[in-house]
Structure 1
Amino acid sequence: MRILVLATITFVTMLLGATGQGWAAGLVARIDISNQTMTVSKQGRVIYTWRVSTARKGYWTPRGTYRPTRLHRMWYSRKYDMSPMPYSVFFRGGYAIHGTGYVKQLGRPASHGCVRLATGNAALFYSLVKQVGRKNTRIVLVN
């Protein structure tokens, strides 16, 4: 019985993390590709909803659930003519959530696959990810 209790405690600790706060304490960015919106929740409560631009015709934005893989305050896309990508939060290979100057396009598909948002909002999201940590952040992309 004692072994079962210890195994259960270990499993729950792994699920929730050392602090015991788990998903509820984390940060979740839910990108709704159909509506071109990103909803940010912290500790299970919605704190922001922003317009975004995802992949335009001929390009693709991945779907699924990811953790951030790397963060860059400023990144330049080698693939697309060194285009600036401020406050980049990469989540799958070269795909990232990042700021853009093309704010008139927000709310409709316009990117090569990344999730674009207003630079101020990207800075805010970037700082939230740094605050809670990559391991406690989830990025969920749905149709």
Structure 2
Amino acid sequence: MRIATSASLIHIAAAFAGSAILLAAAENTARAADSLVARISLSRQTMQVLAEGRPAFEWKVSTAGSGFVTPTGSFRPTRMHEIWYSKKYDNAPMPHAVFFSGGYAVHGTSQIARLGRPASHGCVRLHPDAAADFYELVEAFGPTHTRIMIVR
């Protein structure tokens, strides 16, 4: 389920992160607060994105399939790549990869028919459009103001 449209992505980013005044005020008043939160539910196979505490998106995901693990906990993005190729899994493409723990990332997949059920080697897979939207939001808000929470 997509709560916001791609067109509104620009509005969301501009409203929350595009303004230097807003960012300065936010940093001064709530340094510990996370402006962008992605909450991934392993049991529901969904990712809910909140911008400034307000629902912005909800997408189906695929997390670790049988024999693999998606780490649980609270993370910050550690690095981002518009396109990354898995060194571990036959150069598999990982578009709009937002890494959060070692080699684990939120990224796009071409296997969209498998979204909504466990199917990955541990990463959080999204529809390519959703991955691009999430990537842009993390860029706009900044990794230090982004939290990725993965719960059972």
TM-score by length of 2: 0.81
Gaps of 5+ in 1: 1-15
Gaps of 5+ in 2: 1-24
2:77 aligned partner: 68
Count of residue correspondences: 128
Matches within 5 A, 1:22-101: 22=31, 26-101=35-110
Could you tell me how far apart the structure 1 residues matched to 2:111 and 2:82 are? 18
Could you tell me how far apart the structure 2 residues matched to 1:25 and 1:83 are? 31
Tell me, what secondary structure is at the counterpart of 1:109? coil
- The alpha carbon displacement at 1:101 in A equals 0.5
TM-score by length of 1: 0.86
Runs of 4+ in 1 over 4 A off after TM superposition: 21-25
Aligned Cα root-mean-square deviation (Å): 1.5
- The alpha carbon displacement at 1:81 in A equals 0.1
Q: Flag the structure with larger Rg.
A: 1
CA separation of 1:102 and 1:141: change in aligned 2, threshold 3 A: same
Tell me, what secondary structure is at the counterpart of 2:28? coil
- The alpha carbon displacement at 1:24 in A equals 5.4
1:10 aligned partner: none
Q: Percent identity?
A: 54
C-alpha contact (below 8 Å) 2:108/2:127 kept by paired residues: yes
> What amino acid does structure 1 have at the position aligned with 2:104?
Y
Greater strand share, 1 or 2? Answer: 1
Pick which of 25-34 and 58-67 moved more.
25-34
